[in-house]
Structure 1
């Protein structure tokens, strides 16, 4: 399973950033190539979370935890 891990920053406090795993079972069709290209699923997820700004993302294979204070 490929996970998309996004670095998200609060719009109200731009220096308040954290990592969030944004892939779910709905995104089971994410390939490494689509993840590296920005995965359309990531844009869809961001549209559902308008209070945060996408600062960066990375792709991970298998289990990996998001880190705080990215």
Structure 2
């Protein structure tokens, strides 16, 4: 399973950023290549979170390991 870890920044406070795992069941079928190119599911997920800006993301096989972006 590919896990997508996003760095999200608040639109109201751009310096306020955090990491969040955005993997949902929709991401279960995402390949590593698709993820690295910006999986279309990531855009859909961002549409559901209009108060945040996607600053970066990374693709990880398996679970989030706690490392910072």
TM-score over 0.5 for the alignment? yes
TM-score, scaled to structure 2? 0.91
- Consecutive aligned runs of 4 or more in structure 1 exceeding 2 Å deviation: 65-68
Q: Where do 5+ consecutive residues of structure 1 fail to align?
A: none
- Superposition pairs for residues 1-70 of structure 1, below 5 Å? 1-65=1-65
TM-score, scaled to structure 1? 0.89
Question: Aligned Cα RMSD in Å?
Answer: 1.6
Aligned length: 69
Q: Verify the 8 A CA contact 2:2 2:27 in the aligned structure 1.
A: no
Q: Verify the 8 A CA contact 1:11 1:52 in the aligned structure 2.
A: yes
* CA displacement at 1:64 relative to structure 2: 1.3
Deviations 1:41-68 (A, max 9, x none): 0000000000000000000001114567
Tell me, in whole angstroms, the C-alpha distance in 2 between the residues paired with 1:3 and 1:35: 9
